Each structure stands twice: as C-alpha cells, then as structure tokens.
Amino acid sequence: MHASDKLPRHVAIIMDGNGRWAARRGLPRLRGHEEGAESVIAALRVCRDRGIRYLTLYAFSAENWRRPRTEIAGLMGLLRRFLHNREAELHRDRVRLRVIGRLADLPADVRRDLRRVIEGTSSYRNYHLILALSYGGRAEIVDAARGLAMAAVEGRLDPARLNERVFRRFLYAPDVPDPDLMIRTSGEIRLSNFLLWQLSYAELYFTPTLWPDFREKEFAEALAEYARRQRRFGALA
C-alpha cells in the first residue's frame, strides 16, 4: 500500500470543547470560539499540505439555536469575520467553500457573506471546505425524503427504482464522497446528529483534546491512527 493510500480523502470534524477551554481559563465562551477558529485554519493547512481534498466541519448545529442569544450573535459575527479574513486564502489555495444545513435559518447578513464566498470559489476543485451550519443529520434525511417524495408525486421518480444511490441524490451535497475519517475533540464519544447517513463506514477517532488545542500535531496523530486501521466495509480481511 502506498503512503498516499493511507490518507483519507474526506475528513469530518465535530469541533467540540471551545466553551470548556474558555471556562478553564476564566474567559468568556466567545474567547474559546475565537481560539477555535485558529484550529480551523490549522486543519485547513494540514489538509492542503497532505492533499486531503474534503474537510467538513460541524460549525453550528440545529440544536445550537437553543444557546443564549448573545452567544449565537457572537458565533455569527465570528463566522462573518472568518469569511472576510480568509477569503483571499481560500482563493490562493483554490479551496471551494460549500455549506450544508438549513441555511434559511441563518441571519440575512451571514447568508449574504456566505453566498459571496460560495459563488466566488465555486469553480475550484483542488480542495473543498464544507461548513455544516444549522445542520442536523436527521433533518438532512427528512429533507431528502421530502424531496424524493415530491419527485415521485411529480412523476420525476419511480418509487420502485429507489435505492441508496438514488436516495443520495437528494442529500445536501450528493457529489461529496462519504467521510473516511470522523474526528471528535473534547472527549465526548457520540455523533451528536452529525452526518448520520454519510458516516456509516467512516473510521471514528475521539480525542480528549479540546478543539482550541487541536492543531497540526494533534491532526497528524489522528491521521497516523487512521493509517494504522484496516477498512473492510463489511468484507473479510
């Protein structure tokens, strides 16, 4: 097996632990989110340097809307600053920005900034940064089922021909390959409604490291663990 064969093509990350990082230092929660944004840059750098083409980040879940309004406003402002500060870098590295989730839930100014960067990077194919915003795995499956049902009612789809490949066409990003590796930081060991369809055969990696402390070294350790595993996809070794 070549060294390149041991690298995942698609890494998905649940970025957990920003609040605990801040609390341990007596800082506001938003300070943890700001430091976590630096870990996003580090992850992008690793993907660029290692040739990992797809990176999906669980940036804001559908359940996160239950958080205090001040924290939500801070997170939305942080997202807009990230887009503004890193837009040139995305162009330089030819990274295509994509978003999955119920985007209509986001504030209008956030949607406007996202749309600008998404459209501006839409022609790039080297790397894909996929942000899961107002995202829930069950909601994605429900939305896919709704789209499929509408196609059947309108005569565009024969239900008798429904299979996994056809169902996949109705997901938020049907052309994106399933993650090979899913990383969750902060020591929590659960999926938290993240990519429930797509993670069926992903390798799962859980680390106690809080997201703001998850930088190049920690990412390299996750990739090394992935390389040690043997993926069988239900077959014999």
Stated pTM of the model: 0.94
pLDDT one-digit tens code per residue, 125-182: 999 999 999 999 999 999 999 999 999 999 999 999 999 999 999 999 999 999 999 9
Q: Return the CATH fold of 10-228.
A: Undecaprenyl pyrophosphate synthetase (3.40.1180)
pLDDT one-digit tens code per residue, 85-120: 999 999 999 999 999 999 999 999 999 999 999 999
Asked if 13 and 55 count as a contact pair (C-beta separation under 8 A), the reply is: yes
Chain centroid to Cα 39, Å, comes to 14
Asked if 10 and 53 count as a contact pair (C-beta separation under 8 A), the reply is: yes
Residue 169's φ and ψ, nearest 5 degrees, are -60, -20
Rounded distance, CA 178 to CA 159, Å? Answer: 24
- Give me the helix-helix angle, 29-50 and 69-92, nearest 10°: 20
Catalytic residue among 64, 93, 143, 213: 64
Q: Is 126 an active-site residue?
A: no
The whole-number pLDDT of residue 3 equals 45
Rounded distance, CA 211 to CA 197, Å? Answer: 24
Q: Which two tokens stand for residue 69?
A: 């309004």
Q: Is 16 an active-site residue?
A: yes
Residue with tokens 């998404």: 118
Q: Give all strands (DSSP E) within the chain, no chain letters.
A: 10-14, 54-61, 95-100, 127-135, 181-184, 203-206
Catalytic residue among 16, 18, 113, 180: 16
Asked if 229 and 203 count as a contact pair (C-beta separation under 8 A), the reply is: yes
Q: Which amino acid is at 126?
A: N
**pLDDT band, residue 5 (cuts 50/70/90):** low
Residue with tokens 């837009």: 87
Rounded distance, CA 25 to CA 129, Å? Answer: 30
Chain centroid to Cα 142, Å, comes to 19
Name the nearest CA neighbour of 59 among 162, 153, 135.
Answer: 135
| DSSP-assigned letters across all residues of 64-93 | GGGS-HHHHHHHHHHHHHHHHHHHHHHHHT
pLDDT one-digit tens code per residue, 167-220: 999 999 999 999 999 999 999 999 999 999 999 999 999 999 999 999 999 999
